[in-house]
Structure 1
């Protein structure tokens, strides 16, 4: 016995395939939402080149304000330990704690982002080098007091900073490069250091020392 409306076989197959395709699409959307909900907010790493665009945006927002800007580049000193000594979950938790300390220690209008190499960057509009270095020192000290439940409350990690500042008319790429060079110099000096770009630039451009009198006399004899 047949009840209801009889449907041709071809139409029934088409309807079944449509329902199957719709079900597959819905399941994919659900899976994508679950991935987004569980994703680490720090997982989207910014390449160093992306910093220049962020600086340009900050300059546009700061139109009419003091023509100064600063970039702070920071990096966890114990990067090797962080990458090889702990699993991905613990590593992301540590980076999350670091990000929280960074955000809590800067102004609302400052831009914070994570960059490649377990590092981070802060873009400060209207800040000169002295002010930016003061912020970096404060953040460095705050990180040493950070409590990490994953390590029994002790914090084995420190961070170093490189600071560069200039006018809003200066090249964004050059400003980022100067901050990165200062960061490299800070980490070469040891852990938990802050170096301003002007400090290493002054050393690079110092004039060569004059020949000593002893050297001159020995050459003349």
Structure 2
């Protein structure tokens, strides 16, 4: 039927995510990654604080106090979505702490390993383009090589017991490896989670939280293939809110949105788990009912029609009464999905002209 598609105040969910949505999701992924880094780094520096305090290296103990406070601030910045500032603070702390530690207690302590963590994270960072990233990455590489050249054989300011230096070396080596594994694992988990969220965004109507048009068509193709292979029935129910334009015009678009979300809730809870309810467009909805013949689909449609007729949607002007008209068709073996839905649409159109608030079976199915 597809009438009054634009009468709803809420647009259909986009079938393809915009570049802005992808970028926002990528930045949120990076923010969560840095929050995990902040917690891990803060705990690591707490261990260093205790170690240097007991070893009598007071300057480094105080530096680690500052590092802990730095990561507390970093976590706070990330919590309030100041990702760029937090990332710059992390880079400053990691590099500064590594340089000072190597200067005070020597190259063999292994604190320079932490600088190697920054370039990979910088590469996956979505915050800037490569023209901004490349100088920072190259600068960190140059800094590391410079530290190796000038400080690897230099005499440290504070000479610690060789056993302590050896312990620090392997502690730092193992910690960096663990952090790399943690970062890779966390990034992988967040990428998977992000993909799931993007998939949901791409297949779900944002207002009603039902499937969108593209998603239900993809599922219909899959179910149709099963139907043709196994010889099982499959039906479509196309339904439309009656006099929806009058709701928007009289009570406002907010009331219209409330009507759509209330109707969607009835449709979603009124079908089986194997069935699929989708927002087809505007105030139209489509139900895909696998393994259901046209008679069974008609019974489902009548049950839903009665449930919606009993529905009362609150509004500023008082409770709103809602009714819907339903068109039902079964997918025939010799027709496409579009043809079956078109027959349900024609039945819906007939129901509208016969007075609305009714269920009409497609003529071809009725004849059978």
State the superposition RMSD in angstroms.
3.5
Compare the two structures and name the one with the higher helix fraction: 2
Query: What is the CA–CA distance in structure 1 between the aligned matches of 2:316 and 2:271, rounded to whole Å?
Result: 26
CA contact (8 A) 1:40 1:92 kept: no
Deviation at 1:152, TM superposition (A): 7.0
Query: What is the CA–CA distance in structure 1 between the aligned matches of 2:211 and 2:290, rounded to whole Å?
Result: 22
* 1:88 aligned onto 2:253: yes
Q: SS in structure 1 opposite 2:268?
A: helix
> What TM-score do you get using the length of structure 2 for normalisation?
0.41
Query: What is the CA–CA distance in structure 1 between the aligned matches of 2:352 and 2:232, rounded to whole Å?
Result: 30
For residue 68 of structure 2, what is the aligned residue in structure 1? none
Aligned residues: 174
Deviation at 1:163, TM superposition (A): 0.3
Cα deviation code 1:41-62 (max 9, x no counterpart): 3388845x76543311233566
Higher mean alpha-carbon deviation, 150-159 vs 170-179, is at 150-159
For residue 14 of structure 1, what is the aligned residue in structure 2? none
Q: SS in structure 2 opposite 1:150?
A: coil
Aligned to 1:128, which of 293, 296, 300? 293
Describe how 1:180-219 pairs up with structure 2 within 5 A.
Answer: 180-198=345-363
Query: What is the CA–CA distance in structure 2 between the aligned matches of 1:200 and 1:155, rounded to whole Å?
Result: 34
For residue 145 of structure 1, what is the aligned residue in structure 2? 310
Query: What is the CA–CA distance in structure 2 between the aligned matches of 1:141 and 1:151, rounded to whole Å?
Result: 25
Q: SS in structure 2 opposite 1:187?
A: helix
Q: Which has the larger radius of gyration?
A: 2
CA contact (8 A) 2:259 2:322 kept: no
For residue 99 of structure 1, what is the aligned residue in structure 2? 264
For residue 9 of structure 1, what is the aligned residue in structure 2? none
**With CA pairs under 8 Å and 6+ residues apart, which has the higher RCO, 1 or 2?**
1
Unaligned runs of 5+ in 2: 1-83, 89-125, 128-200
For residue 212 of structure 1, what is the aligned residue in structure 2? none
CA contact (8 A) 1:72 1:136 kept: yes
Unaligned runs of 5+ in 1: 1-18, 27-35, 203-221
Q: SS in structure 1 opposite 2:330?
A: strand
Compare the two structures and name the one with the higher strand fraction: 1
CA contact (8 A) 1:67 1:168 kept: no
Deviation at 1:114, TM superposition (A): 0.6
For residue 243 of structure 2, what is the aligned residue in structure 1? 78
Deviation at 1:95, TM superposition (A): 0.7
CA contact (8 A) 1:162 1:183 kept: yes
* 1:42 aligned onto 2:212: no
For residue 337 of structure 2, what is the aligned residue in structure 1? 172
Q: SS in structure 2 opposite 1:99?
A: helix
For residue 14 of structure 2, what is the aligned residue in structure 1? none
Higher mean alpha-carbon deviation, 171-180 vs 146-155, is at 146-155
CA contact (8 A) 2:251 2:317 kept: no
For residue 10 of structure 2, what is the aligned residue in structure 1? none
Query: What is the CA–CA distance in structure 2 between the aligned matches of 1:152 and 1:199, rounded to whole Å?
Result: 43
CA contact (8 A) 2:313 2:319 kept: yes
Q: 1:61 to 1:83 in 2, by over 3 A?
A: farther
Query: What is the CA–CA distance in structure 2 between the aligned matches of 1:68 and 1:117, rounded to whole Å?
Result: 28
Deviation at 1:193, TM superposition (A): 1.2
CA contact (8 A) 2:280 2:286 kept: yes
